[in-house]
Amino acid sequence: QYGHMNNSVYFSLYDLAKTSYFRDVFGAEECNKFSVVVVNINADFLAPVFFSDELVIETTVIHLGHKSFTMLQRAFNKASGVLKCQCRTVLVGYDNLTKEPIEIPADYKQAICDYEGKTLSELSQPLQ
């Protein structure tokens, strides 16, 4: 009716991009060994996306805590470079057996730091 993409579709695109990020950082096999759950997600819809638009989703970790981490994802129009939407997601390490939050393993934290080109100290700073 409105001619633009429904806001719920962004979250599906962001989920796919998160999966790609985890595969890039940890590898296809390893990324399935550690579970995370989303505990908070906030999106800013900045400009409409039309069905003819091709998007690029940029995904990065901007904060690493003991049991949680925060990802920033941004959807850009591929042709124009216009930022259409940005999203912050907080994910928590999760034990599927006990159904409890768990600490993010040190080797996973290091893999994220290496991928992001930042130190653990840099990624552990409080978010503004």
Domains of the chain: 7-116 (3.10.129.10)
The pLDDT assigned to 66 comes to 96
> If DSSP codes are grouped into helix, strand and coil, which group holds residue 50?
strand
Strand partners, 101: 94
pLDDT surpasses 80 at 30: no
How confident is the model over 33-53, as pLDDT tens digits?
789 999 999 999 999 998 889
Calculated CA dihedral for residues 40, 127, 95, 110, nearest 10 degrees: 140
The pLDDT assigned to 1 comes to 58
When comparing pLDDT for 7 and 100, which is higher? Answer: 100
Helix 106-116 / helix 7-26 crossing angle, nearest 10 deg:
100
- Give the burial string for 15-42 (b: 16+ CB within 10 Å, else e): eebbeebbeebbeeeebeebebeeeeee
* pTM for this predicted structure: 0.91
The pLDDT assigned to 105 comes to 93
